[in-house]
Amino acid sequence: MLSVALIVAGAGLYAMLGTMASPPAQRALMAGGSPGRSLTASAVVFAPPRPQDAPEDIREGVMLGYNILMDTQTYAKEYVGNQLNCRNCHFNAGRERNTLSLVGVAAKYPKYRKRRKYVTDLVTRTQGCFQRSMNGKTLPPEGRHMQAIMAYYHWISKGLPIYADIPWLGLKKLKSGHKPDQAKGREIFDQVCSRCHGPDGQGTEIAPPLWGPGSFNDGAGMHKMKNFSAFTHHFMPKNNPTLSVAQALDVAVYSTSQPRPHFDSGK
């Protein structure tokens, strides 16, 4: 493994030296046709290492970060204001492909965010999910919890090149001319979702609440139609997504119209 990495790094260096020596190659590099491109493409492989395999000096932090994402109610309860855990939306603490994956986030930030009209780092991004998705409070940035979450993101992003195109990150939004229908959405909720999420959407032993006091607030990403519908179409019912695009839009407009906590930016 190590020798492969060295050979690859060596090839990159050789290409760079070659470039410096030859003007045509330099022009190709400036035009974007650099030999580095194929190197980047081949390096984007989905293979997050296990948290328990982190090097000894950071393992405790990586494990705490993993535990916070899996069981936020226990490991960061003082910062949470609802009944959710991060892994309810970022399945298996974001270590999967078919979810709101977090594998590679450490290679993607700082990133421009429309919400702030500025670049945002992972600490700020994570505070947003605590305040909105978890209807809770910000964490001290230099405290153990936030530092552990950062260590965890970095570990599961191991090997992914900085600012590579990582195809499994972000939600693939739905494209459709369908006009969402609340009444149909309610029927779909009753027939498909309620058996896990509860007849009134307030959650059960099996699945978390979709609205009501225990759910995400109206400032959360999931409160937006485009995110709720895409998440539902791609990932719900869990392990067996079956809804058409139109059905996902219908159930999303119904669910996001139900009462939920209000986002209070003063918290």
Task: Please state, in angstroms and rounded to a whole number, the distance separating the CA atoms of residues 233 and 211.
Answer: 18
| Choices 5-13, 16-24, 31-39, 221-229; region in contact with ligand HEC by CB under 6 A | 221-229
Say if CB 128 and CB 134 are below 8 A apart. no
| Choices 11-19, 25-33, 130-138, 259-267; region in contact with ligand HEC by CB under 6 A | 130-138
The residues, ordered by sequence, that sit 6+ positions from 46 with a Cβ below 8 Å of its Cβ are 97, 103, 168
Chain residues 151-210 in contact with ligand HEC, contact rule CB under 6 A:
169-171, 192-193, 195-197, 206-210
Nearest CB to ligand HEC, comparing residues 49 and 237: 237
Chain residues 26-65 in contact with ligand HEC, contact rule CB under 6 A:
none
- Say whether residue 139 binds ligand HEC (CB under 6 A): no
- Please, what is the minimum distance in Å from the beta carbon of residue 172 to ligand HEC? 9
Q: How many CA atoms lie within 13 A of 57 on its CB side?
A: 0
DSSP three-state, residue 183: helix
- Please, what is the minimum distance in Å from the beta carbon of residue 14 to ligand HEC? 34
- Please, what is the minimum distance in Å from the beta carbon of residue 201 to ligand HEC? 9
Q: Copy the structure tokens of residue 145.
A: 């919890």
Of the residues 19, 127, 217, 227, which one makes contact with ligand HEC according to CB under 6 A? 227
Per-position x/- string for 3-22, each x denoting binding to ligand HEC as judged by CB under 6 A, each - no binding: --------------------
Sign of CA dihedral 56, 58, 61, 62: negative
Nearest CB to ligand HEC, comparing residues 54 and 236: 236
| Choices 8-16, 42-50, 53-61, 229-237; region in contact with ligand HEC by CB under 6 A | 229-237
Q: Copy the structure tokens of residue 8.
A: 């690859």
Tokens 């001319």 belong to residue: 177
Provide the 8-state DSSP code for 169: S
Cα R_g (the chain), whole angstroms: 21
Tokens 């204001």 belong to residue: 81
Per-position x/- string for 58-97, each x denoting binding to ligand HEC as judged by CB under 6 A, each - no binding: -----------x--x-----------x-xxxxxx------
- Say whether residue 130 binds ligand HEC (CB under 6 A): yes
Element of type H or E holding 111: strand 111-113
Distance set, CA 85 to CA 81, 158, 201 (Å): 11, 24, 16
The residues, ordered by sequence, that sit 6+ positions from 75 with a Cβ below 8 Å of its Cβ are 64, 67, 68, 145
Q: Which residues bind ligand HEC (CB under 6 A)?
A: 69, 72, 84, 86-91, 100, 102, 105, 122, 125-126, 129-130, 133-134, 149, 169-171, 192-193, 195-197, 206-210, 215-216, 220-222, 227-228, 231-232, 236-238, 243, 251, 255
